[in-house]
Structure formats: structure tokens, C-alpha cells
Amino acid sequence: MNKAFTKETDREDDDDEVGGLPPLPAGTRNYMTPAGYQRLRAELLALIDGERPKIVEIVSWAAKNGDRSENGDYLYGKKRLREIDRRIRFLTKRLDVAEVADPSAHHGSDQVFFGATVTYANGKGEERTITIKGIDEVDNLAGEVSWISPIARALLKAREGDEVTLMTPGGLETVEVLEVRYPAPQPKG
């Protein structure tokens, strides 16, 4: 099939949408915890040193088998190679601008900064606990939110006992900071 009739693009601007992650806000740093940075770096190295060479080998083998237009191994391999290369570009860009911030530096503080685990209560008395992390490392199901999320922005710099105003789809809501925790520093050595 002629490439003119396919939906594939050769654009590299799609890199920021890889994995469904929003692009970084203009002019901001890409804050990450040390664990988040290591996880993304490990993924990048696994793609470069492990998965990509295997797929290149499969594509090379499949290309030697003749007609490429009906060769499933070749077509799938080329598609997977584009996905891997797109993810590698994305991870490289994100890691290049990453600023690793160790939340344990604030251990013992009652003020909310990046990396804090915060328990807060809304006006109805419902409590919720969240951990503020980097945009590339959040797991919403584990109660983690990005530092650029509305709740994190409202809570940043607040202290235990403070009330902050949060803009929600239902209007303004006041939440009270009940507890602020940070991980303990890891012993060096």
C-alpha cells in the first residue's frame, strides 16, 4: 500500500504526548524525585540496550525474506521500532530537563513542598492523602498527583493547620491541611 494512504506520520512533535502525558508547562522545570528519575532512566536504557536491538534484528531478518509489503514481521517490527524511537526521544528530552529534588531534604518540616505526602480534609470533613510528585512519575491510583495539578498548586507552601482554597469543577472549595510528611533521609555509605 502506498504510504500516502496510511495514517502514519513522520512528525517528531508528537513526542510530548507519548504515554498520554501532558507536555511540560512552558518555562518550568521537570521536577522529579530521585526514584522517579532512576525509573525513567532505567526504562530508557532498557529500550536502547535491550528492546531496540532485538527489534532491529527481527526487522533485518524479516527484510531478507522477500516481499516486505505482505511481511507481518517486517511491518510490525518497523511500527514497533518507530514506537520505541519515539519513546526514546521523549525520555531523553524529559531526562535532559529533569531537576531531581529529594523530598527527604524537608524531613520533619510541616510545610508543603515537592515530594510531600499531605493529608487534608474538605469542608465535609472527608480526608484524603496525596503525595506530590513529578509529572512523569505520578500514579493516580496510588494517591500521587503531579506538582502542576490544581490540588498540588493549592497546597504548595501551606503548613499543617492552614486552610487553602481550591478551584474545583463545582466551584471554590476550602481544604484544611491536616498532616505533612516527608520520607526520612537515606543513610549515605
Per residue in 132-161, pLDDT (tens digit) is 999 999 988 999 999 999 999 999 999 999
**Mean pLDDT calculated for residue range 25-52:** 90
Supply the Cα-derived Rg of the chain in whole angstroms. 22
Question: 28, 157, 3, 132: which is closest to 79 by C-alpha?
Answer: 3
CB 143 within 8 A of CB 129: yes
Query: Residue 17 corresponds to which cell in the numbers above?
Result: 504526548
- 168, three cell numbers: 474545583
How far is C-alpha 119 from the chain's CA centre? 22
- Whole-structure pTM value: 0.76
> Which domains are present in the chain?
29-100 (1.10.287.180), 103-181 (3.10.50.30)
Q: What is the DSSP code (8-state) at residue 15?
A: G
Provide the percentage of residues in the chain whose pLDDT is more than 70.
85
Query: What is the DSSP secondary-structure string of 108-145?
Result: T--B--TT-EEEEE-TT--EEEEEEE-TTT--GGGTEE
> Which pLDDT band holds residue 189 (cuts at 50, 70, 90)?
low
Between CA 96 and CA 144 the distance in angstroms is 23
Taking only the tens place, the pLDDT of each residue in 69-108 is 777 788 888 999 999 999 999 999 999 989 999 998 888 8
